[in-house]
Structure formats: C-alpha cells, structure tokens
Amino acid sequence: MNQRVSILSITGLDCMGGVGIQADANTIMNMGANALTVITAITVQSENKIKEIHYLDTNLIIEQVQSTIANLHPRALKVGLVGNPNTIKALRNEIIGCKNIVLDFCIITSSGRYTMNQDAIKAYVHYLLPLSSLLMLKCKEAELLLNRKIQSDEDMIEAAQKLVELGTQWVLLRGGSHTEGQLTALLYGEGKKKFFTSYNMEGWQKHGVSSALSTAIATRLGLGDNMETAISKAHEYIHSQVVYALNTLSYSPRGGDLYNQFLSLIADNYAHAHDVNFYADKLCITARYLNQITIKTVNKSPKQVIDDYLMQESKILLNTSRMTIQEISNRLGFSSQAMFCRFFKNIEGCTPSYFRNYLS
C-alpha cells in the first residue's frame, strides 16, 4: 500500500501536458507525494496558449471530489480552473473541512485570455476565498478583483491587505512589473510581509509557471511545511524545473534532460559548489560532454550557467535582504568577501555595495 502523503489538484485538463492536471500530477509526484486529480474542464491548447475551454458538468466534478476526499483523504489541495459559479458553490461544501487549501484563481492566462466571467469570479471570492490557506494571484488579476491599480510595492501591500480582509490566511501576489527589468512578488499574511524579486522576467512568465508553483506549494504544505518554508521550497523546485528548464521537445531528449538535471543540481548545490567537475560527476558524464550540451542548448559554457545562477541569487539577496556583503558571500559559498566582490564586478561591472545602494 502506498503510504505517501496524498495531494489533490482540482483543475482543467491540458491536451499539451504543459499545464493543468498532467503537469500538476508530475509536480506532486516529483516532490515525493501521491497525486490525486479532479478534472474540471477540457481545454484545447497550443504550446503557449489556450484556444478553447469546455467546463464539465457540476455533478461530474463534485462526484470526483467526493470520491477522492472520502477514500484517500488528501493532506492538501490546489484549486485551479473552475469557471462555473454553480460548481464553485457546490465545491465549497465538499472541501470546507480540508486543510491546506491553495487557490490559484487562473482568471487571466499567460497569453492574456480570460478563463471565467464576472459571476464565476464573484463566486470564487464569496465561496472559496474564505476557505483558503493561500490565495495566489497575478497583480493584473488582483487589479481586476479589487478595482484598483497596482503600480508600486506599497500598492501590492495594500492589495494584499484587502485580500486578507476577504478571508484568506495568506496572499502571494505575483508579476509586479513596476520596477524596470525585474518582476516582484509579495507574500503577505499573519502580520508578515516578504518581497521576492527576479530578473528572469521571461522565465517566470512562462506558460504554466503559476500553476506549477501553486501545486508545489500545496505539496509542501501537505508534507508538513509552514507557509513560508513551503513557498521557499516550492520556489526552489520551480526555479530549476520550470523557470530555467528547457522544453525537451525542442531539443534532443538526452541533451535536454541532462541540461534540466544540471539546473536542478545547481539549485540544490550552488551555495557550496561552483566547480563544473562537481556537476559533471553528479550527472555521471565528463565535463567536456556537459560543455557540449550547454553550448548546444543555450550557447553558454557550464561555468557561465553556474555564474548566471549565482548572479541571480546575489541580486535577489542584495535587493531583498538585510544581510551584509560578507553574509551574502558566505551564503553563496565564496571563500572570502573579496572573492565574491571580484566575481560580482567582473560580471555586473560594479561592486555589490554599489549595486545595492544605487542600482537596485
């Protein structure tokens, strides 16, 4: 008998497999849990765009939910694409006693398509939002929900406060683009607030990233993490598996898989391992072959890929933390502050202190 924790995803079916039920099941299983699924809609998609959405009958959806909850008792659940107000109302009655409910509204897709009408949005807010442990929203979706613009960090905080007042315990607002060249996210709840910054705007706006992140957070909550730890662990997973990952359909399967494994290893080990041979050994390949893979796929050497990751983390820490330069140097595995400063200046053209004080 499978004794692993069960996590339930309630969302649509994507014929391409890049988002929706199939992707959620992969995320849950890859993170060490048992995947349960309830299909709410059939979608017709291209690689990066939803073309059609056909919502299933309310009774069919509710019967799926009743069966999975009654028989397998999920420790957490993620609610994604549910576009029928009657379904939303009925769903509330089935999940009201469940713990660790993550809502990923999915009002607006990455390509800008609206997935539900105003009645469905109102039903979501009235019936499901007060049950949620975490509400995930893009800033554009929060603007629609609250009828207010979000154009600064302060606007994000005020929007998150309003959403918590509507009943959710925590809010994760994503996709703030008010600072040129970077994306901002805000975690808000229980009197705490934490900003996250990313310079990889293209990666974090990929089709399916939001859905994968909400599923990863639900999984970590089901595995016993508190909210802040769950989001941190989920972020690390998505960072390596989705944001910086390659679509292996566009590359040779072997090379694409190894490249994605390489990025996953960097995410796990960057704080103490900067050497290419370390990663080649972990992949059971030669450093020369790893170089061929990275050059072919992203036209960068393995060392450049590692350095890019370190720079990304460096900028995030300089931008969002109160850590000293020495503490950041230690956190990132440099032998000394001088080595870290030399590394940073060689790539960015300025010192970490100058970047923090004048450019961030």
Range of the domain at 256: 248-359
Domain end (from 243, 258, 285): 243
CA distance linking residue 123 with residue 168, whole number of Å: 14
Q: Measure the CA–CA gap between 251 and 256, rounded to whole angstroms.
A: 6
* Mean pLDDT along residues 275-289: 93
Q: Is 335 exposed, middle or buried (0-12, 13-18, 19+ CB in 10 A)?
A: exposed
pLDDT in tens, 8-17: 999 998 877 6
Specify the higher pLDDT residue, 297 or 145: 145
Q: Which of 179, 147, 151, 199 is nearest to 348 (CA)?
A: 199
Measuring CA to CA, which residue among 57, 63, 99, 55 is closest to residue 81?
A: 55
The answer to the question of residue 214 being in a domain is yes
Residue 1 lies inside a defined structural domain of this protein: no
What CATH number has the domain bearing residue 81? Answer: 3.40.1190.20
Chosen domain end from 208, 243, 278 = 243
State how many domains the chain has: 2
Q: What distance in Å separates the CA atoms of residue 69 and residue 181, rounded to the nearest whole number?
A: 43
pLDDT digits (tens, 9 = 90+) for 27-48: 899 888 999 999 999 987 765 5
Q: Which of 200, 228, 243 is the last residue of a domain?
A: 243
pLDDT, one tens digit per residue, over 55-99 is 999 999 999 999 999 999 999 999 999 989 999 999 999 999 899
The verdict on 225 and 238 lying in the same domain is yes
Spatial neighbors of 203 by CB under 8 A, at least 6 apart, are: 209, 242, 243, 244
Do both 239 and 133 map to the same domain? Answer: yes
Residue 255 and residue 238 share a domain: no
* More confident position, 183 or 198: 183
For 114-144, how does the pLDDT look when each residue is reduced to its tens digit (9 = 90+)?
A: 888 899 999 999 999 999 999 999 888 999 8
Return the number of other C-beta atoms located less than 10 Å from residue 297's C-beta. Answer: 20
- Do residue 205 and residue 287 come from a single domain? no
Considering the domain architecture, whether residues 219 and 71 belong to the same structural domain is answered as yes
Tell me, yes or no, whether 105 lies in a domain. Answer: yes
C-alpha span between 195 and 198 (Å, rounded): 10
CATH at 257: 1.10.10.60
- Asked whether residue 28 is assigned to any structural domain, the reply reads yes
Q: What is the dihedral of CA 121, 126, 130, 136, to 10 degrees?
A: 10
For residue 45, what is the enclosing H or E element?
strand 34-45
